[in-house]
Structure 1
Amino acid sequence: MVGVTDSGLTLADIRRQIDAIDAEVVRRLADREQLVRAAAAFKTDEQAVRAPARVEEVIAKVRALAEREGGSPEVIERVYRAMIGAFIELELGEHRGSRPSSS
């Protein structure tokens, strides 16, 4: 990406670019959500849904990607941990919803 501070962009220009990126991010998160919902069918219990080793694997990968792309690994990690937490809750709901209640 072009250096924003020396590109002559106005605040309005920057906001338009952020809005365009947000639209793409939301589209990709919706795609990710569909995959999370599909993955729920393969999980047998809450531990499988939470998959802490997989979470750490994903975090390591995205931190490396952030570094490679010139982003902050710390910020990316915080964003991903929040996102993964939200998707885990969604998947737990899917997981619980697909099985009869024990009560």
Structure 2
Amino acid sequence: MRLLPVCSTLFAILLSAPAPAEVPATPCCRTLGEVRTNIDRIDDEILRLMAERSRYVAQAGRFKTSAATVRDEARIRQILTRIREKAATQGVSPDVAEATFRAMVEGFTAEEARQKRR
């Protein structure tokens, strides 16, 4: 697999945005279809960033010796603590941010363990 150079990561984009006072107002949509179009656009960008994150997870696997070494509880706690702190400054519910990132970390961890068992 060819790894692409990184311009940004999901964390960089989601977590380096300006504080809520500086965040530009989201344009008001005139229809539900317009709302959904914007949500789909954002979802596509999140998916692109998840693919980039996946390539880094694959690289991390090179440094781990077995499937048993894939899960790093201290690192997971570090990620979730940082996400909760950053979420509040971004105007996102820390509970929603944690649940989202927890699901993502669990999914990537499971995939990394499957790859390592091969």
* TM-score w.r.t. length of structure 1: 0.84
Within the candidate set 26, 35, 41, 1:20 is matched to: 41
Asked if structure 1 preserves the Cα contact closer than 8 Å seen for 2:61 and 2:112, the reply is yes
* Deviation sequence 1:33-79 (CA, Å, 0-9, x none): 11111111101234431000000000011111211100000011111
Give the structure with the larger helix fraction.
Answer: 1
The 1:87–1:94 alpha-carbon spacing in structure 2 relative to 1, beyond 3 Å, is: same
Which AA in structure 2 matches 1:82?
A: A
What does 1:27-66 align with in structure 2 at a 5 Å threshold?
A: 27-66=48-87
SS of the residue corresponding to residue 50 of structure 1 reads coil
Identity %: 35
Native 8 Å contact 1:41 1:95 kept in 2: no
Give the Å deviation of 1:9: 3.2
- TM-score (norm. length: structure 2): 0.74
> Would you say 1:95 and 2:116 are equivalent positions?
yes
1:64-100 deviation line (CA, Å, top 9, x unaligned): 1211100000011111111111101110011112xxx
Measured against aligned partners, the alpha-carbon deviations of 1:8-41 in whole angstroms (never above 9, x if no partner) come to: 5321111111010000000000000111111111
Q: Which of residues 63, 72, 85 is equivalent to 2:106?
A: 85
**What is the aligned partner in structure 1 of residue 19 from structure 2?**
none
* Higher CA-based Rg: 1
Q: Would you say how many aligned residue pairs link Structure 1 and Structure 2? A: 95
Label 1:90 to 1:8 Cα distance change in 2 as closer, same or farther (>3 A).
closer
Structure 2: state its 5+ residue gaps: 1-23
For residues 82 and 47 of structure 1, what CA distance do their matches in structure 2 show?
20
| 45-54 or 85-94: bigger deviation | 45-54
Give me the CA root mean square deviation: 1.5
